[in-house]
Amino acid sequence: MARTETTYWIHAVSSLHVGAGRGVGFIDLPVMREKATNYPFVPGSSIKGVIADYYGATKETRKSNEIFQKAFGKADDDENPEGRSDANAGSLVFTDARLVCLPVRSFFGTFAWVSSPFSLSRLKRDLRLTGLPELSLEKNEIACLQGGSGGVLPGPDGKVYLEDLDFIACDRDVSPWAELIAESVFKGTEWFDLFGKRFAVVSDDAFSFLAETGTEVAARVRIDPEKKIVAKGALWYEESLPAETILAGTVWCDRVFGPAGQKLTAEDLFKEFCSGEILLQLGGKATTGKGLVRCLFRGR
C-alpha cells in the first residue's frame, strides 16, 4: 500500500503542560523534553489519544465502530466467549510534535516567535515528505527578522532584545520561512501578517538557552480548608510551555489494520480524522485553563 502522510501543527492558545512526572530540580512538575536537545515536545501518543477522544473513539465505541478500530486500534474484548484475540493496532501513526517557534518576551513589540537554524532544518526534513519547497537558511550568530528593520521588534538602536539577551538585527531574508509557518498556522486570520513582523531566527546556542529558560514556571499551593492557610508540604512549582508556542509533527498511514469488513483506505482515515483544524485540550491542568490548542493538518 502506498504511504499517505501529512503534517500537523500545534498552536498553543493557552499555556501547555505535558508533564514528565516529578522533577529532580527545583521544578517539581517539569514539561517533557527531548533527551538530546532538551527542547520541550509533545509525545505523539498524547496527541493521538486526545484526537481519538475528540471524535468519541472510546474503548466501548471501538467495539462496534469499524473506522474507529482501524484508525486508533482496538484492545482485546474481555467478553469474547472463545477467548480469541481480536485486537489490532491503530493505522494512524503520529510522530512527536517538536518545537518550531517559542514565544519570547521582547523589549520592543511585546514578544517574538523565535526559531533557530537547527529547528528549521528538522522542520524542513519532516515537511519535505508533504511537498515542502526547498527553503534554505544560513547558520549565523545574530538574530534575523523577516523584513529586517521594518519589523516591530528592533529598537531605535537596531538591536533586538529577547528576555535577557540582545542581538544585532540583520536583513538576511527569512521571509520564506515566515510565510510557510504563517500559511500553515495562521492562514485566514488577522495573525497572518503579524507573525511575519514578529518572527526571528537566532543561533542554535541562543535558542537552546531560551528553550530552557523561556518556559512558564508557576508556584501552586493547596489551602487547608479548616485553617485557610497553605497546607503543610502543599507548595509546588510546575512548568508549562507559554501560550503562542508552535510545534509540528507528521502523521502517516502505510497500512490499514483491523477487521476485513469495510474497505477503508488510508485516504478515508485521513479525510475523517486528519484534515482541517480542530480545537483540542492537551496535557494536564485542564480545569485551570491549560492545554487549549489548535491542531491543524496541512498536506499536499
Q: Which residue would you say has higher pLDDT here, 157 or 124?
A: 124
Q: What gap in Å lies between CA 105 and CA 278, rounded to an integer?
A: 28
- Phi, psi at 152, each rounded to 5°: -95, -5
Q: Which residue type does 263 have?
A: K
Give residue 147's pLDDT band: very low, low, confident or very high (50, 70, 90).
Answer: very low
Q: Which helix (H) or strand (E) holds 103?
A: strand 97-105
What confidence score (pLDDT) does residue 145 get?
Answer: 47
Count other C-beta atoms under 10 Å from residue 49's C-beta.
15
What confidence score (pLDDT) does residue 47 get?
Answer: 96
Q: Grid coordinates 517557534 are at which residue? A: 101
What is the pLDDT averaged over residues 50-67?
91
Give residue 141's pLDDT band: very low, low, confident or very high (50, 70, 90).
Answer: very low
What is the pLDDT averaged over residues 17-35?
82
State pLDDT tens for residues 149-189: 345 677 777 788 888 888 887 766 788 888 999 999 999 89
Quote the DSSP letter at residue 19. B
What confidence score (pLDDT) does residue 148 get?
Answer: 40
Q: With H, G, I as helix, E, B as strand and everything else as coil, classify residue 124.
A: helix
Q: What gap in Å lies between CA 139 and CA 116, rounded to an integer?
A: 9
Q: With H, G, I as helix, E, B as strand and everything else as coil, classify residue 271.
A: helix
State pLDDT tens for residues 238-253: 999 999 999 999 999 9
Q: Which helix (H) or strand (E) holds 11?
A: strand 4-12
Q: Do 197 and 151 touch, CB atoms closer than 8 A?
A: yes
What is the pLDDT averaged over residues 29-55?
94
pTM over 0.85? The answer is yes
Give residue 133's pLDDT band: very low, low, confident or very high (50, 70, 90).
Answer: low
Residues 6+ apart with CB under 8 A from 292: 12, 13, 14, 279, 280, 281
What confidence score (pLDDT) does residue 164 get?
Answer: 85
Beta strands in 186-284 (DSSP E): 199-201, 216-223, 230-240, 246-253, 276-281
